[in-house]
């Protein structure tokens, strides 16, 4: 696995809807810009060797970094794979939609739910939203949120941006009724 760079973003929202958010609502994202392990090979029928090589290492690398950047217990989480234009969306999906990747984050966050995801093929600098859901109950509406990120120079055509996102709380000023109240 060839990593070109790792980027960490944090965001602290102090005000929402004209009202203070106390404590500030914190989110964190860690992105790795990696060489696409299948770049230049044409159609690859068996992605498993590349998955086995890269996915566990990426999960092990990114999970503790995003938890550390959040600097609070994780309440919501998500993942992303943005594939450069010479790759296939399946290349990104192969790396993030495996327990070999996701279980590192689940353990680090003490989570039990599936990680929501975004995956797409895009040019360098494309803005993308990473969806987040509650770590133990995906029906908790207050934690349904997303965080917008971009890598100015990635992914290059033969790269993939792999990311993890975490939030220390639900949406600032969340006030929707629980899903169980609707019939």
With vertex at residue 12, the alpha carbon angle to CA 7 and CA 18, rounded to the nearest 5 degrees, is 145
- Taking only the tens place, the pLDDT of each residue in 96-142 is 999 999 999 999 999 999 999 999 999 999 999 999 999 999 889 99
Q: What is the pLDDT of residue 165?
A: 98
Please give the structure tokens belonging to residue 121: 């093929």
- Taking only the tens place, the pLDDT of each residue in 148-164 is 999 999 999 999 999 99
pLDDT at 182 over 80: no
Q: Cis omega (within 30 of 0) on the bond before 178?
A: no
- Could you give phi then psi for residue 132, rounded to 5 degrees? -125, 145
Residue 177's pLDDT band, with cuts at 50, 70 and 90, is confident
Closest to 96 (Cα-Cα) out of 66, 57, 124, 68: 57
Q: Does the pTM of the predicted model rise above 0.85? A: yes
Q: Is the dihedral of CA 71, 74, 75, 81 positive or negative?
A: positive
d(CA 67, CA 29): 9
Domains with residue ranges and CATH for the chain:
3-181 (3.30.1330.110)
* Residues near 14 by beta carbon (within 8 Å), at least 6 away in sequence: 20, 21, 24
């Amino acid at each position: 696995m060839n990593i070109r760079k790792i980027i960490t973003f944090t965001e602290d929202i102090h005000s929402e809807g004209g009202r203070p958010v106390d404590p500030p609502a914190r989110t964190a994202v860690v992105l790795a810009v990696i060489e696409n392990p299948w770049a230049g090979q044409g159609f690859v029928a068996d992605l498993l060797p590349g998955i086995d090589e890269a996915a566990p290492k990426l999960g092990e690398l990114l999970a503790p970094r995003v938890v550390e950047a959040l600097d609070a217990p994780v309440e919501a989480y998500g993942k992303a794979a943005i594939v450069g234009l010479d790759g296939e969306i399946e290349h990104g999906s192969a790396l993030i939609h495996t327990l070999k990747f996701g279980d590192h984050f689940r353990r680090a966050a003490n989570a039990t739910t599936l990680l929501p995801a975004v995956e797409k093929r895009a040019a360098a600098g494309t803005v993308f939203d990473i969806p987040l859901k509650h770590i133990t109950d995906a029906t908790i509406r207050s934690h349904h949120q997303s965080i917008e990120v971009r890598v100015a120079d990635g992914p290059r055509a033969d790269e993939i941006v792999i990311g993890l996102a975490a939030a220390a709380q639900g949406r600032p000023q969340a006030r929707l009724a629980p899903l169980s109240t609707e019939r």
